[in-house]
């Protein structure tokens, strides 16, 4: 499954993920089609390979099929006006996809939507902003609808940015970070890899009354959600 969706263009990569059944929603196809992966990798030659690629500082841009799984899983919570947190935002790729998913020019609620990316390597935060600008998202950045911040994502974002309808975590947490569950809206959903040697994606759902349930989705291998000085 992991590498089979490689394409020669962005459109072909997305088409291959749809054929493989990894993407089933037209909304995800539309959003991922607006984000050209070549703006978010270090070597554009490898942009449409369905594999994770090093982006420096001990980080990787996740494989396209994992970005697709995340968008598909969080989709019911990615509506116009939603607030989204991307922890370990790295290249900025998913912040862009989430932004397109919460924007609908025909829906006035879109004005309230916001994507916050939090990443603990300041150089990567700067690079992700450059990438988003290359991908024509300067207006969203300038209006504060996409906000990329440097910080320890295990603690979540500043409370005034939340609570979040959807939280994506792009690095594996050794144990479930309580602060992130705290910042989930009621209802809200988090997609998070948890574990050290063996890791699993957990879907964490918080319902209207604040009850939290965890559903394991798939076995994965992510870089760790860790301290900045332990990453290199």
For 133-164, letters b (16+ CB in 10 Å) and e give: bebebeebbeeebbbbeebbbbebbeeebbbb
Sheet holding 83-87, edge to edge: 146-150, 114-119, 83-87, 164-169, 184-195, 199-206, 212-220
Number of residues that bind ligand SAH (CB under 6 A): 25
Helix, strand or coil for residue 14?
A: helix
- Indicate whether 188 belongs to the interface with ligand SAH (CB under 6 A): no
In the set 25, 33, 51, 62, the catalytic residue is 62
- Indicate whether 61 belongs to the interface with ligand SAH (CB under 6 A): yes
Question: Shortest approach of ligand SAH to residue 216 CB, angstroms?
Answer: 20
The verdict on whether 128 is a catalytic residue reads no
Beta bridge partners of 189: 166, 205
- Indicate whether 121 belongs to the interface with ligand SAH (CB under 6 A): yes
CA distance 48 to 64: 8
- Indicate whether 53 belongs to the interface with ligand SAH (CB under 6 A): no
CB closer to ligand SAH, 187 vs 224 = 224
Question: Shortest approach of ligand SAH to residue 94 CB, angstroms?
Answer: 5
Residue entry with tokens 């602060």: 179
Kindly identify the residues of this chain, within the stretch 197-226, that bind ligand SAH according to CB under 6 A.
223, 225-226
- Contacts with ligand SAH by CB under 6 A lie at 59-62, 87-91, 93-94, 118-121, 124, 152-154, 170-171, 223, 225-226, 231
């Amino acid at each position: 499954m992991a590498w089979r969706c490689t394409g020669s263009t962005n459109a072909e990569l997305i088409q291959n993920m749809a054929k493989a059944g990894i993407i089933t929603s037209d909304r995800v196809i539309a959003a991922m089609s607006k984000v050209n992966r070549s703006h978010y990798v270090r070597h554009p030659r490898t942009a449409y390979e369905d594999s994770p690629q090093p982006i420096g500082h001990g980080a990787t841009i996740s494989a396209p099929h994992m970005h697709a799984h995340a968008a598909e899983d969080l989709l019911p919570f990615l509506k116009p006006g939603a607030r989204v947190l991307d922890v370990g935002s790295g290249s900025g790729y998913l912040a862009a996809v989430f932004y397109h998913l919460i924007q609908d020019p025909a829906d006035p609620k879109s004005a309230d939507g916001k994507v916050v990316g939090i990443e603990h390597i300041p150089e990567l935060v700067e690079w992700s902003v450059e990438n988003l600008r290359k991908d024509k998202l300067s207006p969203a950045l300038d209006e504060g609808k996409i906000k990329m911040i440097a910080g320890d994502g295990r603690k979540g974002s500043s409370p005034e940015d939340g609570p979040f309808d959807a939280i994506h975590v792009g690095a594996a947490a050794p144990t479930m970070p309580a602060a992130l569950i705290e910042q989930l809206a009621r209802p809200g959903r988090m997609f998070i890899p948890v574990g050290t040697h063996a890791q699993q994606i957990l879907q964490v759902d918080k319902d209207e009354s604040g009850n939290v349930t965890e559903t394991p989705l798939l076995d994965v291998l992510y870089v760790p959600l860790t301290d900045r000085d332990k990453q290199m």
